[in-house]
A and B are shown apart, each in its own frame.
Chain A
């Protein structure tokens, strides 16, 4: 095993290497390179490890639409919170959702008003809660990207096998490929490459992202989440950019394979099918999420407990532009003033991996 000091030395050397290559990029193309980290976990890791700050002026790192809470549109957030209005219900959720501000409150506020809202580590825990409370309806709020969708499928599989009839899931999942295509089609953000999400790739495989190189002629590197992993991936991205080679490179081979996790993909596609999804600040994107196949509607909370949609309350929150990489968090008038981690208004400040939360905690000038 490497000693911590060894890791630290390697990180420093790799950082220097990245800076040298970024200088070479600037001399060659007359501007600094812009790379988008797609994953919210990368956004937080880049900020927390100091990599983003250390590369200011060398590499522009743009946070992409890879935080599930942040990209969920307000109508969906409002609908999920409205689920607590029903009687005899237990709402189970990942922790990321409880403080997200809907138009008329949060799940946390609903809980303080006496509603049964529970944070669980895994959706399978929600199935167990349903078994323990057979006379109540247990609804799990199923948000997430491709890493999480198989986990949701595993919970449905357990509920199906155990014939748990009082368990259902309100799905609001998102897929990475359609949103990357949308960003590249819109062309609102000039990008030299993508830092691809390691754990989405763990499920989907390197090959899944090949379209970035073949169709859009843009390099991309799959990365892990340690400082060394991310610096190594950035080094590869810079080398590819300098050589003007559009390649999708797997720099996280210890976890990511060419085809991804075949079992996880099988179970995803067993219970769920592609559906149109609404993205915050972007609108509805065709086939950009997954929802229940009709034969599994007994687990579909949208079918069991339909919620009338309401026009969401308008705010000055600019999370919709933040997740598309159009603005940095401080460009939002609310950032650091009305909207802080203690009093979050937008989901990018609420989420543990939102761009605004990362920027507030690690990037602000004191």
Chain B
């Protein structure tokens, strides 16, 4: 039940935002992410935006996995 879905913020109006979730548009609350901007991606859970997705970290994860695949990791922790 604690699952959230990523959504793109299209429009902001006081305490709610219009977001796009995989092609469907819906209004969600934004009281938990007051700093959100149009164009941000957010995690939506039960009608509220709960977190702004940090795209830099998302890209870094992909890069880390790619490097792992390329190098077939020697087992050292990259933390």
Interface string of B17-61 (1 = CB under 8 A from A): 000000000000101111000000001011110110111011011
Cβ–Cβ contact B77 & A150, under 8 A: no
16 A-B residue pairs with CB within 8 Å: A9-B69, A10-B66, A39-B2, A94-B46, A124-B47, A147-B50, A148-B1, A151-B46, A151-B47, A154-B32, A154-B48, A202-B50, A202-B51, A251-B61, A253-B57, A254-B54
Kindly list chain B residues whose C-beta atoms are within 8 Å of the C-beta of A240.
Answer: 77
- A297 interface residue per 8 A CB criterion: no
Q: Which residues of B lie under 8 Å from residue A41 when comparing CB positions?
A: 1-3
- Judged by a CB distance under 8 angstroms, whether A206 is at the interface is no
On chain A, the residues within 8 Å of B60 by CB distance are 253
Q: Looking at the complex, which one of B1, B66, B69, B77 makes contact with A145 (CB distance below 8 Å)?
A: B1
State whether B53 touches A267 (Cβ < 8 A): no
Decide if A121 touches B68 in the complex (CB within 8 Å).
no
In the complex, A232 has a CB within 8 A of chain B: yes
Beta-carbon nearest neighbor of B70 in chain A: A13
Compute how far the CA of A202 lies from the CA of B33 in the bound complex, rounded to whole angstroms.
12
A78 at the interface (CB under 8 A from B): no
Instruction: List 4 tightest A-B contacts by C-beta distance, closest first.
Output: A122-B47, A147-B2, A254-B58, A254-B57
| Residues of chain B within 8 A of A243, CB atoms compared | 77
Q: A68-B1, A254-B57, A261-B51 are in contact. Are A148 and B45 (CB under 8 A)?
A: yes
Contacts of B47 in A (CB 8 A): 121-125, 151
Bound form: Cα–Cα A96–B2 in Å: 12
- B62:A2 contact, CB within 8 angstroms: yes
Interface size of B by CB at 8 A reads 34
Name the CB-closest residue of B to A263. B32
In the complex, B14 has a CB within 8 A of chain A? no
Closest chain A residue, CB of each to CB of B47: A122
- Give the residues in chain B near A17, CB-CB below 8 Å: 68, 72-73
A67 at the interface (CB under 8 A from B): yes
Check if A40 is an interface residue, CB within 8 A of chain B. yes
Please, which residues of chain B bring their CB within 8 A of the CB of A154?
29, 31-32, 48
A41, A96, A147: residue with the most chain B Cβ atoms closer than 10 Å: A147
In the complex, A108 has a CB within 8 A of chain B: no
Residues in A73-127 with C-beta less than 8 Å from chain B: 94, 96, 121-125
Contact B50 A123 (CB under 8 A): no
Alpha-carbon separation in the docked complex, A150 to B75 (Å): 39
Interface string of A240-252 (1 = CB under 8 A from B): 1011000101010
Q: A352 to B3: give the CA distance in the assembly, Å.
A: 11
Contact with B along A28-50 (1 / 0, CB 8 A): 00000000000111000000000
**Are A255 and B34 in contact, CB atoms less than 8 angstroms apart?**
no
Q: Which of A148, A229, A243, A352 has the most CB of B within 10 A?
A: A148
Is A254 a contact of B77 with CB atoms below 8 Å?
no
Given A2-B62, A151-B45, CB of A94 within 8 Å of CB of B75: no
B54 and A148 contacting across the interface, CB-CB below 8 Å: no
Indicate if A19 sits at the interface (CB-CB under 8 A). Answer: no
Q: Which residues of A contact B68 (CB under 8 A)?
A: 13-14, 17
With a cutoff of 8 Å between Cβ atoms, the chain A residues found around residue B31 in the complex are 154, 157, 263, 267
Which single member of B1, B58, B66 contacts A40 (CB below 8 Å)?
B1
Please measure, in the bound complex, the distance between the C-alpha atom of A2 and the C-alpha atom of B59, giving whole angstroms.
10
Known interface pairs A124-B47, A147-B45, A267-B32; A202-B66 also in contact (CB < 8 Å) = no
> A329 contacts the other chain (Cβ, under 8 Å)?
no
